[in-house]
């Protein structure tokens, strides 16, 4: 009987201790970790905004590869949800509560197993000179069991290393993306110009075509463009884009060019006195966006020629210079934009 009383006393003390710890243990947990990633903000944000892309760097998935994850809603939008269940990770769900595009994403967490708990997490981006700082924050309300556990081992010591691992994984995937982008950019950069590859629709140009000496090109374009625009207007032919020059031949011996100075038009069969039509079929083009005075476009053309040689390409139609900026409205030549296209095959 005495032994039974002693056992009951001990049991009562244990129960009382558990109750005290459950009541007096910390009511909330706060964890914060950060890292600096050598990648531009938009590239990092792409991995943060998407719950599905979290799988590419989530430390929790790495800890429990058998975890089953399901998704609901529009990924990356407020209200979208992912739920998980696994032998090591338990069961729970997270819902995107708020999004400040390119800056911050807040998530509501609901843990169901091994015990019930509610928390919030935030991923915050801060752009730096040539990198991005990412801060991962966790704030949770401790339930009865969590209060007891927190007395002996707080959440920061348990969850902090996991966050560090996740941020290291995020850094790895984002920096790999940045390196791949850098290499791709270098592969299409020639003479300081970035050469893009695009698909352009078939385009019909209407204008004045003539073989003109290099030294007279400026005067020819200066007279041909306004005359063409006036003639098309009188004929009721709809113009669909900016004034453009089609270069059919660049004769380095005669120092002259066979060019058409005209405008793109919707009517592919338009007939306007004094003007001719030229069609550029749909297909792939190499493109450079050149900013500056017209006489400096030679370097941009050289860059396009280098790109063609590097990839074994050949022209399939006339070279095109599209004069986007109206020089009568913008006096600063540094702001003049000329799109140069090389249709290639």
Domain boundary among 186, 215, 243: 186
What are phi and psi for residue 71, nearest 5 degrees? -125, 150
Give buried/exposed letters for 90-123 (b at 16+ CB in 10 A, else e). Answer: bebbbbbeebeeeebbbbebebeeeeebebbbbb
User: Does residue 14 sit within a domain?
Assistant: no
338 and 276, same domain (yes or no): yes
Indicate if the pLDDT at residue 251 is higher than 50: yes
Question: The whole model's pTM is what?
Answer: 0.70
Tokens at residue 124, please?
Answer: 């915050």
Look at residue 25 and give its three-state secondary structure: coil
pLDDT for 18: 41
pLDDT single digits (tens) 260-280? 999 999 999 999 999 999 999
pLDDT given at position 153 = 58
Are 148 and 200 members of one domain?
A: no
Express each pLDDT in 193-202 by its tens digit. 999 999 999 9
pLDDT over 70 percentage in the chain = 88
Residue 168 lies in a domain: yes
Among 139-153, 164-178, 266-280, the least confident range: 139-153
What's the pLDDT score for residue 244?
A: 98
Mean pLDDT of 91-98: 96
The pLDDT tens digits for 124-137 are 999 998 899 999 99
Length of the chain: 345
Q: Is residue 3 part of a domain?
A: no
Specify if 5 maps to a domain.
no
- What are 81's two structure tokens? 């949800």
Looking at the fold, whether 113 and 200 belong to one and the same domain comes out as no
Taking the C-alpha atoms of residue 202 and residue 279, their distance in angstroms, rounded to an integer, is 7
Same domain, 211 and 162: no
Q: Look up the CATH number of the domain holding residue 313.
A: 3.20.80.10
Let me know whether 134 and 269 are in one domain. no
How far is it, in rounded angstroms, from Cα 32 to Cα 16? 33
CA angle in degrees (0–180, nearest 5) for 47-199-313? 105
Is residue 78 situated within a structural domain?
A: yes
In a domain, 6, yes or no: no
3-state helix, strand and coil shares in percent for the chain, rounded to the nearest 5:
35, 40, 25
Residue 225 and residue 278 in one domain: yes
44/40 Cα distance (integer angstroms): 7
**Position 147 pLDDT exceeds 70:** no
When divided into structural domains, the chain yields a total of 2
Its domain, for residue 220, covers 196-343
């Amino acid at each position: 009987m005495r032994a039974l009383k002693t056992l009951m006393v001990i049991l009562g003390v244990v129960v009382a201790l558990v109750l005290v710890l459950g009541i007096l243990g910390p009511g909330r947990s706060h964890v914060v970790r950060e890292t600096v990633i050598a990648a531009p903000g938009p590239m990092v944000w792409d991995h943060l905004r998407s719950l599905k892309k979290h799988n590419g760097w989530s430390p929790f998935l790495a800890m429990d590869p058998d975890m089953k994850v399901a998704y609901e809603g529009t990924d990356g939008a407020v209200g979208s949800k992912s739920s998980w269940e696994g032998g090591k990770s338990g069961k729970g769900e997270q819902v995107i509560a708020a999004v400040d595009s390119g800056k911050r994403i807040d998530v509501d967490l609901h843990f169901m197993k091994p015990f019930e708990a509610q928390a919030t997490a935030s991923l915050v981006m801060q752009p730096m000179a040539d990198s991005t700082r990412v801060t991962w924050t966790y704030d949770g309300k401790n339930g009865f069991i969590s209060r007891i556990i927190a007395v002996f081992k707080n959440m920061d010591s348990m969850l902090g290393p996991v966050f560090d691992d996740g941020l290291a994984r995020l850094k790895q995937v984002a920096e790999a993306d940045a390196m791949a982008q850098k290499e791709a950019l270098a592969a299409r950069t020639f003479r300081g110009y970035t050469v893009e590859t695009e698909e352009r629709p078939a385009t019909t140009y209407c204008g004045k075509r003539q073989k003109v000496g290099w030294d007279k090109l400026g005067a020819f374009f200066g007279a041909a463009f306004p005359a063409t625009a006036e003639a098309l207007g009188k004929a009721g032919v709809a113009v669909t884009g900016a004034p453009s020059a089609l270069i059919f031949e660049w004769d380095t011996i005669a120092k002259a060019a066979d060019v058409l100075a005209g405008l793109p038009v919707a009517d592919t069969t338009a007939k306007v006195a004094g003007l001719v039509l030229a069609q550029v079929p749909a297909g792939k083009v190499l493109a450079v966006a050149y900013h500056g005075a017209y006489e400096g476009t030679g370097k941009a053309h050289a860059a396009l020629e280098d790109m063609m040689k590097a990839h074994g390409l050949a022209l399939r139609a006339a070279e095109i210079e599209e004069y986007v900026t109206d020089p009568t409205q913008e006096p600063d030549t540094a702001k003049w934009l000329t799109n140069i296209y090389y249709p290639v095959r």
